[in-house]
Chain A
Amino acid sequence: MKILKDLMYTKTHEWIKMTGDKKAKIGLTDFAQDSLGSLVFVNLPEVGDEVSKDDSFGDVESVKAVSDVFSPVNGKVSAINEELLDSPEKINESAYDAWLIEVEDIEENKDLLTPEQYEKVCNEEA
């Protein structure tokens, strides 16, 4: 299970990477993709949609399950990773490259987990 050092995390297994002052990319962690199994589809919001902290902004489907993806921050969707709509398997192949959405106008983000804290969460769940 991979946990990258330069990212922040959530208890619900999303990663967030700041790409600008108030901008960040959000994806699913390696732990998440591994427990979900082979993903077959992702539902993403539209550019311009508002996302709120701890609210679901989309979901990912495996053959027999669907899981919500939660936003770690408040903000507005500035881009979605359209490649995933055709190739959801990219999340399984490389979870930290396969960002789902980019969010801008991020308001202050609290309660994010450090890699060390997130590792603890994973160990507890495993």
Chain B
Amino acid sequence: MSLIFDKSREGIGCSILSELDVEPVLFPEKLKRTKSLNLPQLAEVDISRHYTELSKKVHGVNDGFYPLGSCTMKYNPKINEEIAALAGFTKIHPLQPENTIQGCLEVLSKAEKYLCEITGMDNMSFQPAAGAHGEFAGLLIIKAYHKSKGDLKRTKIIVPDSAHGTNPASATMAGFEVVNIPSGDDGCVDIEKLEAAVGDDTAGFMLTNPNTVGLFEKNILKITEIVHNAGGLVYYDGANLNAIMGIARPGDMGFDVMHLNLHKTFSAPHGGGGPGSGPVGCKSFLSKFLPNPQVKEYSDKYEFSNSPDSIGMVKSFYGNFLVVVKALTYILTLGKEGIKQASENAVLNANYMKCELSKIYDMAFDDICMHEFVMTLENLKKEKGVSAMDVAKMLLDNGIHPPTMYFPMIVHEALMVEPTETESKATLDKAIEVFSDIYKKAMAASELLHEAPVKTPVRRLDEVLAARNPVLKSGDRHTD
């Protein structure tokens, strides 16, 4: 469909501002831009229809099942949105005097308290805007900790080869050297490899638990002990917390520092890629390193405080505050019973789907899974030439958002399925049926899968053309 710029017409626009009621002042010409400003001029109805049309070509959580592994695409409760839209939150300037922002500070303080209770951490900062941002802050905390002890030789961060790409990328940004260790055949941390990798140059080890193949690391206490004995700290990637809320806590497993994704586990919407919120939490011995400012609760008021040992600021102000409001609303709604129930049902849904699908498809690992599981289509690829991508694209034609594809990298032709707790048995049964139909088609007429999708607004895209000759704005042209 046409770009909004192509719909622009001279002589039309929205009437928004009032007339200027003071003497007009103009800048001297030498300060002014000479390049014309090509912004669209449209009537409000045209803008409204443009975006309504665009929104119809987006698959949201309410458009159908969304089992995107590692992304926790759960339902986004409506009350969260209404609360985050209250003027008492949206109209607050971030640099207002502390006596006028007691409500905002209470939100941050309560959210910190509850999320620390859920994770077993002692303090938390909401400044990081996303999971990767939280990782970066957490790794800087690890760096600051070793530096504070005068231990400057700890330059390496160990990550399993099954880790999210953000883990090694964050470690590099924080100035560490990355050591990848291969996972064991069971998809879990290979204890011997970890023991061999740690040493007096180990700054830390990053892990998500349940791990990226959806399994709980049974040896978690041994793992954290190995790293601690070597003098390193253990970082918890909170991407998969949805499996264990109210059941087990990273803090009790020996993790020292972690981040959460409030836009995954705590029901804030993903917004088409953001804004998220990636609070970084830690044990008390690391609290002084958290980003500044931190919120302190006193008997009669809340106050900001700054730690001289802090890693500093990772962002302006206090993070994506309204996302924290949504998460707090969610926690208050669920409470101690609901939080646990959410995780229980996330894991139940995943195991039910896994069990049913394993009658047809190969699973990467057979054990009881946590909130997600990984299928491997390696045999289907070999036998019928049908790839994980083909199956994913056919799901599109059935109104289902595909699982995460080709991740983790240790599983060939991987599809990673995370149903979440907010799907009914009926939805799961329907999805199982779709998966099973696709399998039958793969067996009988695999060419159909290579063709898919056919019902979507566009079909498979030429990504090579896009990358070789980037056209990144209106007016650019492919050179070939």
Give every chain A residue within 8 A of B467 (Cβ-Cβ). Answer: 40-41, 61, 63
Among all A-B residue pairs, the 5 with the closest Cβ atoms: A40-B467, A38-B464, A63-B463, A40-B468, A63-B467
Interface positions of B from 393 to 416, Cβ below 8 Å from A: 406
Interface string of B65-109 (1 = CB under 8 A from A): 000000000000000000000000000000000000000000000
Measured between alpha carbons, how far is A9 from B406 in the docked complex, in Å? 31
* CB of A89 closer than 8 Å to a CB of B: yes
Count of residues in B whose CB is under 8 Å from the partner chain: 5
Among A40, A41, A64, find the residue whose CB has the most chain B CB atoms closer than 10 A. A40
* CB of A88 closer than 8 Å to a CB of B: yes
Chain B nearest Cβ from A61, distance in angstroms: 8
In the complex, 6 of the A-B residue pairs with CB atoms within 8 angstroms, ordered by the A residue number, are A38-B464, A38-B468, A40-B464, A41-B468, A63-B463, A88-B468
Chain A nearest Cβ from B71, distance in angstroms: 18
Chain A nearest Cβ from B13, distance in angstroms: 40
Interface string of A41-78 (1 = CB under 8 A from B): 10000000000000000000101100000000000000
Give every chain A residue within 8 A of B468 (Cβ-Cβ). Answer: 38, 40-41, 88-89
Count of residues in A whose CB is under 8 Å from the partner chain: 8
Interface positions of B from 440 to 480, Cβ below 8 Å from A: 463-464, 467-468
Interface string of A12-55 (1 = CB under 8 A from B): 00000000000000000000000000101100000000000000
Give every chain B residue within 8 A of A61 (Cβ-Cβ). Answer: 467
Task: Tell me the nearest residue of chain B to A61, going by C-beta.
Answer: B467
Measured between alpha carbons, how far is A63 from B463 in the docked complex, in Å? 7
Task: Tell me the nearest residue of chain A to B468, going by C-beta.
Answer: A40
Give every chain A residue within 8 A of B464 (Cβ-Cβ). Answer: 38, 40, 63
Starting from the known contacts A40-B467, A41-B468, 9 additional A-B residue pairs (CB-CB under 8 Å) come to A40-B464, A40-B468, A41-B467, A61-B467, A63-B463, A63-B464, A63-B467, A64-B463, A88-B468
Task: Tell me the nearest residue of chain A to B479, going by C-beta.
Answer: A86
Measured between alpha carbons, how far is A63 from B464 in the docked complex, in Å? 6
Chain A nearest Cβ from B410, distance in angstroms: 15
Give every chain B residue within 8 A of A40 (Cβ-Cβ). Answer: 464, 467-468
Measured between alpha carbons, how far is A76 from B441 in the docked complex, in Å? 55
Task: Tell me the nearest residue of chain B to A92, going by C-beta.
Answer: B464
Measured between alpha carbons, how far is A64 from B406 in the docked complex, in Å? 10
Chain A nearest Cβ from B465, distance in angstroms: 9
Measured between alpha carbons, how far is A89 from B467 in the docked complex, in Å? 11
Interface positions of A from 70 to 100, Cβ below 8 Å from B: 88-89
Chain A nearest Cβ from B415, distance in angstroms: 15
Measured between alpha carbons, how far is A61 from B464 in the docked complex, in Å? 10
Chain B nearest Cβ from A68, distance in angstroms: 14
Give every chain A residue within 8 A of B406 (Cβ-Cβ). Answer: 64
Chain B nearest Cβ from A67, distance in angstroms: 14
Chain A nearest Cβ from B470, distance in angstroms: 9
Task: Tell me the nearest residue of chain B to A40, going by C-beta.
Answer: B467
Chain B nearest Cβ from A69, distance in angstroms: 18
Task: Tell me the nearest residue of chain B to A41, going by C-beta.
Answer: B467
Among A61, A63, A88, A89, find the residue whose CB has the most chain B CB atoms closer than 10 A. A63
Interface positions of B from 253 to 269, Cβ below 8 Å from A: none
Chain B nearest Cβ from A32, distance in angstroms: 17
Chain A nearest Cβ from B363, distance in angstroms: 24
Measured between alpha carbons, how far is A65 from B324 in the docked complex, in Å? 35
Chain B nearest Cβ from A36, distance in angstroms: 12
Chain A nearest Cβ from B307, distance in angstroms: 39
Task: Tell me the nearest residue of chain B to A89, going by C-beta.
Answer: B468
Measured between alpha carbons, how far is A89 from B479 in the docked complex, in Å? 14
Measured between alpha carbons, how far is A88 from B468 in the docked complex, in Å? 8
Give every chain A residue within 8 A of B463 (Cβ-Cβ). Answer: 63-64
Chain B nearest Cβ from A65, distance in angstroms: 10
